[in-house]
Chains A and B, each alone.
Chain A
C-alpha cells in the first residue's frame, strides 16, 4: 500500500475537504454540504480515476499551495478558471498531473470562478462526521478545513500516469439564471416580481458556502409577514428585511422564517456558485416541469462527459483532428 503525504503551505479561507454530501439529515438541522460546484467535483474524480463521490479538496478563491513530501500521487484540478503550476511550470487550465516528493503545487484563482476541485488519486484521509467526509464550514465538522501547516495523507496513492493530461471542459449554460417562483412569491407585489425577473443583480462580498447575498433592485415584502419558520432547500432565494435576495447554497441553514420569492433550479446551481463578488446576473422564471427537464438534460450531458473522460485523456493528435472537424480548420500537420 503506497501512501502520499502533502504539506499545506498556504490555503485560502474556506478551503475544505468535501465528498458527495451528507444526505438525509435535513430534518435534524444538518445540510448536505458537499461541493459548491458538483459537476466540477464529479469530473475531477472521474478524470483521475477515483470512484464517484470520493473525498477531494475544494479550493477557494484564496488559492492553495501544497508540497509533496512523500509518495507519488496523480491529481486532477477542475473548476472555474483556476490555474495551477508545479514548481513554477504552468499546467494548462483543467488538467491532471502528478506530484512527486519535493514538488510544489500552486493553485490560483484565474479569470473567473470561485471554487475548484482538487481530486487526488487514492483515498484522502479525513474524518467522518455523521457518516460523511463533507465539511460543514461554519462548524468545521466533517472532513475538515484545510489550513496552512496541515498534513494531508492519501492512502493507496497512485500516479495514474494513463490519466495525466488536459481535461475537457464541461460546457455550462450561459445567460439568465433560471428560477421557479415560490413558495412565497405571493408575499411580493407584481412589480417586485417583475423587478426580480428584469433587473440586473450583482453578487455582494457577503458570500460563502452558506449562500450568496445579491444586490439589485430592492425586493420589498408586500404582505405584513408573520411566517412560521419552514424548511429551506439548496437554491432557495430568500429575502430578508433589507430587501436583498440571498441564494442558499451547500451549507445552507435547513429552516428559516424569511419568505422565499423563488428557488434557483438545480441545473444552474453549479454555475451560480462559480460567480464572484461583483459579477452581474439576471433571472428568468420557468415552471417546475421545465426545471425537471433541464435537470435531466444536464445530468445526461454530464454523464456523457464523464464517460468520455473515463476513457482517459485524448492524445494531442486526436484533439487537433476533433478541433478541425468542429471548426472546419485544415489540419496544420497534414495540410
Chain B
C-alpha cells in the first residue's frame, strides 16, 4: 500500500491487475471533479499495459495487464499524472431526459410522496427540480447512478425488493436515481418511466451518458411517452 502525502489522493493495490486511486471518502462533487480530471488525463496519456479505468464516487480503479507492466511502473505513471492533472473542470454534456410519471409507470410514487409528507404533484415537482450528475455506473449494464435527488424526496430503499421491474423505469433511493436498462429486481422506489433508452447496444455510442455528464428531467404525459417509446 502506497500513500501519496498525508491524505488524498491515495493509491492502493487491487490484486495483480489494478491500482485504486482514492480522491476522498465521501460523495462530493469537488472530489468527483478531481477524479474526472485524472480520468481525462489518463485517457489522454495512458501507460503501456493500461487496460481500462473505472470511475466511481470518490475513487477510480486503474486496470493493467500484469504481463505487460508491474505495480511500481503503474504507480509511477499515476503519481506523475496526479501531479499535473489538477482539478480542471472536465467538459461534460447536459442531457434532457423525458420521463412520464403516469400512475401505471409509477407504482411507488403515492407511497413515496406520503412518506415524504408531500402531495404526488409536489413530489414530482421536487424530482424535476433536481440537477443530476452521472457519478458512476453499476449494478447491471447501463445502470447510471444519477446523484442529486432533492432532500425533500430522499428516502431509504424499500424493505423488500420487487422482481421484474421493466427496463426504462425511473427508480430512486436516497440521493440517487437510475433509469433502468434491463428487466431486473429492485428495492428502490419506482416513480416513473422514460422512453429514452440509456443503453442502445446497436448504436455507435451504446451508452447515453458518460460519467460526469449532467442530467435534467422533462415531464411528458402518457400520450407523448407512447409516441417516443421505442
Contact flag A29-B1 (CB < 8 Å), given A229-B136, A288-B71: no
Residue in contact with A288 in the complex, picked from B15, B26, B145, CB distance below 8 Å: B15
What secondary structure prevails in chain A residues at the interface with B? mixed
Interface set, chain A 233-276, CB cutoff 8 A to B: 233, 235-236, 253-256, 260, 263-267
Beta-carbon nearest neighbor of A139 in chain B: B182
Which residues of B does A touch, CB under 8 Å?
1, 12-18, 20, 25-27, 51-61, 63, 66-67, 70-72, 136-145, 182, 184, 199, 201, 206-207, 211
Measured CA separation A231–B139 after assembly (Å): 11
CB distance from A252 to the nearest CB of B (A): 11
A-B contact pairs, 25 of them (CB 8 A): A25-B141, A27-B137, A28-B137, A28-B141, A28-B142, A29-B137, A29-B142, A29-B143, A139-B182, A141-B141, A180-B14, A180-B15, A183-B14, A230-B56, A235-B15, A253-B138, A255-B137, A255-B138, A263-B18, A266-B16, A266-B17, A288-B13, A292-B71, A295-B16, A295-B67
A292 touches B201 (CB 8 A): no
Assess whether A180 is in contact with B140, with CB atoms less than 8 Å apart. no
Q: Check A233 against B14 for contact (C-beta < 8 Å).
A: yes
A236 to B207, CA, bound (A): 26
CB-CB under 8 A from B16, the residues of chain A are 180, 263, 265-267, 288, 291-292, 294-295
Most chain A beta-carbon contacts within 10 A, residue among B70, B138, B145: B138
The A-B contact count (CB < 8 A) is: 145
| B residues near A228, Cβ cutoff 8 Å | 25-27, 56-59
Q: Is the CB of B201 within 8 A of A130?
A: yes
Say if the beta carbon of A335 comes within 8 Å of chain B: no
Interface residues of A in 284-310 (CB under 8 A from B): 287-289, 291-292, 294-296, 299
In the complex, A296→B136 CA distance in Å? 32
Interface of A toward B, CB cutoff 8 Å: 23-30, 129-130, 136, 138-139, 141, 180, 182-183, 226-231, 233, 235-236, 253-256, 260, 263-267, 287-289, 291-292, 294-296, 299
CB-CB nearest in chain A for B60: A231
Q: In the complex, what residues of B have CB within 8 A of residue A136's CB?
A: 141
The answer, among A139, A226, A235, A266, for a CB contact under 8 Å with B140, is A139
Contact present for A230 and B15 (CB under 8 Å): no
A292 and B70 contact, CB distance less than 8 A: yes
Q: In the assembly, what is the distance between CA of A180 and CA of B71, in Å?
A: 12
The residue that A291 contacts in the complex, of B56, B66, B142, B199, with Cβ under 8 A, is B66
Contact A26 B54 (CB under 8 A): yes
Q: Please, which residues of chain A bring their CB within 8 A of the CB of B138?
A: 29, 229, 253-256
